Amino acid sequence: MPGLNESVAQYGILQPLGVRPGGLLVWGHGRLVAAITAGLKEVPVVTLDKPMKEGEYLTFSVIENMMRFDLSPYDQWKARLSLLTANPEWQDKDLAKALSLDPSMTVRLLSPGKCIEAVQIALRDARSASATATPSQSYQKLNKRRHWR
């Protein structure tokens, strides 16, 4: 995260990290690494002081990471799946509410889970090549590679 490292070195931490009462980091992992790299001795933190379930801590972490511009569609999909796994009582509408999305959007965002494994792998492999790849685009790339061999 060179841009984040440079920003933290120049301006410090602008958004606090989130920690559990015992100090375990919930969000802000990249900022913490950048602060350590910059030699900062202290960083601002927000302590989540109310009792929470593991799924709630994960929700905070995923929401924070969804704001990152460099999170690939594959990583966004996997993060949403992890939220549903951590909160087994949730339905799509609950996921949408937690992420401040329109409920119809969750169906589209979870669509890679309905694809065959080859498409999911192509989407995963495309995360560094194209941050905007859709499952169908990834599948087309996979098929092109198969035809070239």
Mean pLDDT by 10 residues, the chain (149 residues): 82 91 89 93 91 86 73 82 89 87 83 86 71 44 36
CATH architecture of 1-50: Alpha-Beta Complex (3.90)
- Find all residues with CB under 8 Å of 128, minimum gap 6, and list them: 72
Q: What CATH number has the domain spanning 52-149? A: 1.10.10
Task: Give the whole-angstrom CA distance, residue 24 versus residue 57.
Answer: 11
The dihedral through the CA atoms of 53, 55, 58, 60 has a sign that is negative
Domain boundaries, the chain: 1-50, 52-149
Task: Give the whole-angstrom CA distance, residue 64 versus residue 77.
Answer: 15
The pLDDT of residue 68 is: 63
Closest Cα partner for 71 from 125, 132, 27, 115?
A: 132
Both tokens of 139, joined, read 């599948």
